[in-house]
Structures are given as structure tokens and as C-alpha cells.
Chain A
Amino acid sequence: MSALTTINPVEPFLRADRMPHIWCPGCGIGTTVNCFARALVESKLPIEKVAVVSGIGCTGRVAGYLHLDSFHTTHGRAIPFATGLKLANPDLNVVVYSGDGDLIAIGGNHFIHAARRNVDITVICVNNFTYGMTGGQVAPTTPVGATASTSPYGCFERPFNLPFLAESSGAVYVARWTTYHVRHVAHAMVEAFQKKGFSFIEILSPCPTLYQRRNKMGDGLDTMRYYKQHSVIRNGAHTREVDINLQGDIIVGKFVDIERPTLHETMEQQLREKLQDRYAGGGGA
């Protein structure tokens, strides 16, 4: 055996004393964590400056498993916590890592405002179309007709189209992939880390225990095969057109990649302009 590393590339980023994690067999969250680890290495970010902020839920547990400055906050509020964190220390590379229910339902208001402000954070949204941790309730991403524990006769609400929501709110980087597209996910994360402004990556992931099972979609592997078969890569697609239906095609790709001054930049610029040499800066920590 050569002198090459013989540890799993994800291992330096894990809190090994907390393994094994709680995610189910066939759940895709762990797969996204592999992509995250690869992206951290490839982007060469100084690891001491990376902070992960999660909300509550299965994906919300990611922060706790990562050996980084990690913050497991309250349900729906990872984004405003991250906003405060980033404003207090703009040198940090702040990543919000949470699930669809947490970020878009209870966290929806914070999501759209942070995108509007163009807070310089990366938001990784693992979308499994349900609230997994609490037992598989209907979520604002659950497709019409899908069964969930709180919509036992099928979801009757139109779901959000997350890339559309992100773009309309002002996100400067918007991408959607699935846990099948591991290399694309890792690459999107690298781009998002390096992107100044509000970057949003939606990653579709199986929830075999709840969403998949209740909707007779097989297990995690079946879902991954489904992603492989039914994903259509359309980089640059109009986000308006990337709705997800229960059994249709999934449009994936990088949809938005634009430039816009960040919250910090616009704040500094405005204050400097108005106050001239009376402006004492953001204070810093």
C-alpha cells in the first residue's frame, strides 16, 4: 500500500465520536454530506472559518455531525441566525444546511428576506418532500396527490417550486440536483461557497422510511434509480418551469448565476456614502 491517505475523505470533517448517525438506511442526507466534504476540500476554504448552521429536522442534524463550528438552532431560524453570525464576522464562510420543511415552511419568511437582502451565505436545502424527523408530515414541497401522515388522503395543496421562489426573492445562485448527481452536487457546492451573495442549492433526497414508503415508491435505491432515469439536466432553465410533479420528470441543473452586491456591501457602501469619515465600520468582533 502506498503512502496515499487511507482515511475516508469525509472523515476529517466528521465528529467521529458521534458516529453512527441517526439517518435511515437509504436516506440521502449522508450522501450530501460526502459531497459537502469534497466541496470543502476542493474549494480550499480555510476550515476554521467555515460555520454550519442547521435548523431542526433530519437534515438539521448535519451540523451536529460535522467537525466544524456548528450551530443547531431553532426550527426555521437557521437563516436569521446565520445572518447575525455573518454580519458579526464577515470573514466566516457561513453555510445553512437544513431541510425543506425547516427552511421553507416555518423558515419561509426568513428565506425570502435573506435572498432579498443577498446575505452572503450558502443555503443547502435537502428536499425529501416531507417532515422526516417528526414522522412524515405534509410539507410545502410535497407534490399534489402524495400521501403524508397529515394529509392521509393525499396532499391537496400546490407545493412551492423552490428554485423559482429563490430566484424571485433575489438569490444570485440557484441550482437543483438530486442525491444521484453526486459530482454535480459537490461542484455546485464549490461554486456556491465561492459565490458572493445568497446561494441556494436544492438537493432532492429519498426519505425511504416515510415519504417513499407511504407513496409506494420503493426504497432509497429505487428512488435513486428514479432520479437517474427521470432527471433532465437543463442548465439555465427558467425557474418558473421547474415544478416537480408526483411521478414526472425532474428538471435539474444550475438555473441562476448572477452578480449582485451583497448585504454587507450595500450596507457599507450606503453608510460610507452618507457618513463619509464619520463611518466607523461594522464593528467586527
Chain B
Amino acid sequence: MSDAPTAPRARRFRGQVFIDWNRCKGCGFCIEFCPPKILAFSEEFNSHGYHPPYLAKEEACTGCDLCGLYCPDFAIFGVRVPMEG
């Protein structure tokens, strides 16, 4: 068994989410099931009166796209973006 690393592994990817503001119906699935829990309801509301999510902690997003997989309204999806350099 090798020694455990003493420094955190460098992240090679970051994530980005895209939100279709007016498609959202505020069900809360994405917020609930985002693994790092970094989505939250926004203060503003869309044309239908719902509060779409926003990415509260951008740097923690991994682009896993679980939000996209859960969203019943096809209003959000996540993408993995390789880190520059």
C-alpha cells in the first residue's frame, strides 16, 4: 500500500452549468441532488413566476450534469470543461 498523498489531487476539470431561465418550473430537483450542493434558488423569478436556480459556488462545480439528468423541464445542464494549462 503506497503512502496516501499529502496534497489534494490537482483538479483537471471544472464544471459549468447552463440554465434555460424561462423553462424552469422551480421543482428543486437540481438543487437537492447536486452532489456538492452548490445550486440555490435565485431571488429573481422567471416569466412563469418560478425561481430558477443559480450556481452559488461556481468554482466547486464539477460539471457532473446530474442537475441536467434530473431536470424534468430540460432547463439546466452541466458541462465538464478541462482546466487551462
Q: Per the CB under 8 Å rule, do A and B touch in the complex?
A: yes
Tell me the complex Cα distance, A33–B71, Å.
Answer: 10
Q: B residues bordering A, Cβ < 8 Å?
A: 16, 18, 20, 23, 25-29, 32-33, 50, 65-66, 68-74, 77, 79-82
Stretch among A13-21, A115-123, A143-151, A246-254 lining the B interface: A13-21
Name B80's contact: one of A4, A19, A27 (CB within 8 Å): A4
Q: Which residue of A lies closest to B25 (CB)?
A: A25
What per-residue 1/0 map shows which CB atoms of A1-16 lie under 8 Å from chain B?
A: 1101110111100100
Q: What are the residues of chain A within 8 A of B68 when measuring CB–CB? A: 8-10, 34
- Chain A contact residue count (CB 8 A cutoff): 36
Q: A residues bordering B, Cβ < 8 Å?
A: 1-2, 4-6, 8-11, 14, 19-21, 23-31, 33-35, 38, 179-180, 182-183, 186, 219-221, 224-225
Tell me the complex Cα distance, A25–B50, Å.
Answer: 10
Q: Which residue of A lies closest to B69 (CB)?
A: A182
Tell which of A6, A14, A33 has the most Cβ of chain B within 10 Å: A6
Other A-B contacts than A4-B80, A28-B72, 11 sampled, CB-CB below 8 A, are A1-B81, A14-B74, A20-B73, A21-B73, A29-B72, A35-B69, A179-B70, A186-B69, A220-B72, A221-B28, A224-B33
Q: What are the residues of chain A within 8 A of B33 when measuring CB–CB? A: 180, 224
Tell me the complex Cα distance, A25–B27, Å.
Answer: 5
Q: Which residue of A lies closest to B66 (CB)?
A: A182
Q: What are the residues of chain B within 8 A of A29 when measuring CB–CB? A: 72
Q: Which residue of B lies closest to A28 (CB)?
A: B72
- The SS class assigned to the A binding surface is loop
Name B72's contact: one of A6, A14, A31, A38 (CB within 8 Å): A31
Name B29's contact: one of A2, A33, A221 (CB within 8 Å): A221
Tell me the complex Cα distance, A260–B62, Å.
Answer: 43
Tell which of A30, A33, A38, A225 has the most Cβ of chain B within 10 Å: A30
* B14 → chain A closest CB, angstroms: 11
Name B32's contact: one of A4, A25, A34, A224 (CB within 8 Å): A224
Report whether A9 and B65 are in contact in the complex, using a CB–CB cutoff of 8 Å: yes
Report whether A26 and B74 are in contact in the complex, using a CB–CB cutoff of 8 Å: no
